[in-house]
Structure formats: C-alpha cells, structure tokens
Amino acid sequence: MDKPIFQHADVIAREISESVQKVDGTQIEELIKRIMRSESIFVAGGGRSGLMIRSFACG
C-alpha cells in the first residue's frame, strides 16, 4: 500500500541530505564561534522559519 506521506518524507530527507553535503564545515565552525562571542544576534523569519527562530530564542 502506497502512503503518499512517506513518499514526501523520503523526498524531504533526500533533499536535506544533499544540502548538508554542500555545507563547508569550517564555515560552520567559524559561524558558531562568532555567535558565541556576540552579545546579541538579530534573526527574522515567518511561517515555519519564524517558529524555529522563536524556539531557539526561548530555549
């Protein structure tokens, strides 16, 4: 039995995996260092992105 939700989840997981493989780890490390040294950080987003931003801000 085909479950469309699982087909969509497979596509999403594959796209995330492909995107992560393109990230330069040294740039991420530098970003983390800069964030940790900062007194404040401004982020903005709407929809799902906004929800994720608020979860980090409150966490």
Question: Using one digit for the tens of pLDDT, what is the confidence trace for 2-57?
Answer: 678 888 999 999 999 999 999 999 999 999 999 899 998 888 888 888 888 888 76
Q: Count H helices, E strands: the chain?
A: 3, 0
- Confidence band of 58 (pLDDT split at 50, 70, 90): low
Q: Which amino acid is at 15?
A: E
pLDDT for 24: 93
Which CA distances in Å does 14 have to 3, 7, 22, 28, 35? 17, 11, 13, 21, 29
Q: What are phi and psi of 44, to 5 degrees?
A: -140, 150
Distance of alpha carbon 53 from alpha carbon 45, whole angstroms: 7
pLDDT for 1: 45
Distance of alpha carbon 31 from alpha carbon 28, whole angstroms: 5
